[in-house]
Structure formats: C-alpha cells, structure tokens
C-alpha cells in the first residue's frame, strides 16, 4: 500500500494551525492548539489535541486526525479511522480532506470506504437531529457523485430539509434533482422529509421555512 498523502512532518500539520489561532478570549477556556504542540516537538500532545478537536466537531481537527491515523505518527496506524475522519471532514466541505480521502480510497477496500461513509453519515444525522442545520448540507453532499455514492433520492431528501432550514445554497441542487426523479419518488421523499421536519424542527419554527 502506497502512502501518497502528505507525510506528517511539522510543516504539514502546522499549516492551518497557527499558534494561538484556536484559542479563545473573554474568559473562555482555550481550545487545544495542534500547531503549538507541534512547534514544541510534542507529537503526542498534537495528536491528542487533534482528536479532541475532531470529536468536538472541528473540521480542521478532523482532517488532521485523519493524517495522524493514516501515517501512524503519534497514534497507532489505522486506515479505517483515517478514512472515517477524512470522509467526515470532506462531506462537510474541507477541500484538503476531500483530496486526501480520494487518495486513501484508491488503496483501500471499497467496502471499507463505504463503511466509513456510513459512519460519517451517522454522526451527521445525529448532529442534524440535535439542531445542526449545517449537518443537513453535509448529508446532502454525501450522496453526490463526487463522493462515489450518488443517490438522487437521498440527496433530494437532505437538500429539501436543508432549504427548509434556511440553507439557500441547497436550493439549486434540490431543484436540479426534481427533474431527475419521478413524481411518485418525489412525493414519497417529500413525505419522509415532512415527517423528519415535524419530529426534529416542529418546535423550532425560526430555523427555516415550512416544507
């Protein structure tokens, strides 16, 4: 297996993590700073910080954690964890993570890549149910052809919910998908979306327009 991704040298991981960039002011506790740990030569600390950020939903932390796992630096090498975290960051819009995921996918068993996508969707679904409307966009993106798992019905479903939640950027994709689906499929999917909206957004009308 060829490890073609950028090696975890200090400069590779510090990029995007300038010292102090992740800190908070105003009495708020500071967030872990991967770049600062790397500059001090603390690879173990950097990996811990990347994991903490990733678990907290930080997209850059998720990308960096995937590299730590892929190269096995400061963490036990684990390709499954690497593709999981790169996939999660990629569907959320991280371009470097998307590029890394594509390279990882060329060397991994396709079943493992699909399993990682299911894992990422599961996390995003829980976030969406908890009120994270950006997660709706990530779920819609995960069903696009660019991630090798195109499904027009599911993409339409999540784009419908994203538009209803006020995500105008999902409108064009939703409308394009309408022309590719049959009316029975549209009606059934719209019913699913209404049921989801009623369950998770009915008490929060300010989140977006009605379906």
pLDDT at 33 (0 to 100): 82
pLDDT at 79 (0 to 100): 98
pLDDT at 22 (0 to 100): 35
Q: How far apart are CA 4 and CA 105, in angstroms?
A: 11
pLDDT at 39 (0 to 100): 86
What is the 3-class SS of the chain, one letter each residue?
Answer: CCCCCCCCCHHHHHCCCCCCCCCCCCCCCCCCCHHHHHHCCCHHHHHHHHHHHHHCCCHHHHHHHHHHHHHCCCCCCCHHHHHHHHHHHHHCCCHHHHHHHHHHHCCCCHHHHHHHHHHHHHHHHHHHHCCCCHHHHHHHHHCCHHHCCCCHHHHHHHHHHHHHCCCHHHHHHHHHHHCCCCHHHHHHHHHHHHHHHHHHCCCCHHHCCCC
Domain residue ranges of the chain, discontinuous segments joined by +: 1-108, 110-211
The CA angle 3-116-166, to the nearest 5 degrees, is: 120
Which of the residues in the chain have pLDDT under 70?
1-31, 203-211
Q: Which fold has domain 1-108?
A: 1.25.40
pLDDT at 61 (0 to 100): 96
| Stated pTM of the model | 0.84
Token pair listed for 190: 């719209």
pLDDT at 6 (0 to 100): 52
The CA angle 63-68-73, to the nearest 5 degrees, is: 165
Question: pLDDT tens-digit profile of 132-183?
Answer: 999 999 999 999 999 988 999 999 999 999 999 999 999 999 999 999 999 9
């Amino acid at each position: 297996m060829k490890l073609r991704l950028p090696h975890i040298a200090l400069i590779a991981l510090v990029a995007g993590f300038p010292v102090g960039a992740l800190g908070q002011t105003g009495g708020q506790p500071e967030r872990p700073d991967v770049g600062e740990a790397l500059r001090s030569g603390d690879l173990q600390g950097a990996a811990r910080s990347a994991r903490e950020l990733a678990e907290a939903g930080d997209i850059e932390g998720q990308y960096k954690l995937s590299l730590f796992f892929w190269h096995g630096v400061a963490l036990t090498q684990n390709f499954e964890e690497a593709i999981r975290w790169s996939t999660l960051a990629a569907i959320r819009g991280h371009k470097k993570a998307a590029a890394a995921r594509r390279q990882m996918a060329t060397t991994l068993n396709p079943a493992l890549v699909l399993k990682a996508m299911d894992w990422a969707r599961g996390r995003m679904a829980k976030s969406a149910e908890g009120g994270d409307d950006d997660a709706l966009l990530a779920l819609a993106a995960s069903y696009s052809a660019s991630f090798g798992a195109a499904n027009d019905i599911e993409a339409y479903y999540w784009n419908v919910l994203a538009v209803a939640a006020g995500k105008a950027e999902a409108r064009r994709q939703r409308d394009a998908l309408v022309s590719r689906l049959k009316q029975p499929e549209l009606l059934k999917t719209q019913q699913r979306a209404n049921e989801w909206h009623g369950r998770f957004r009915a008490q929060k009308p300010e989140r977006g327009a009605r379906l």
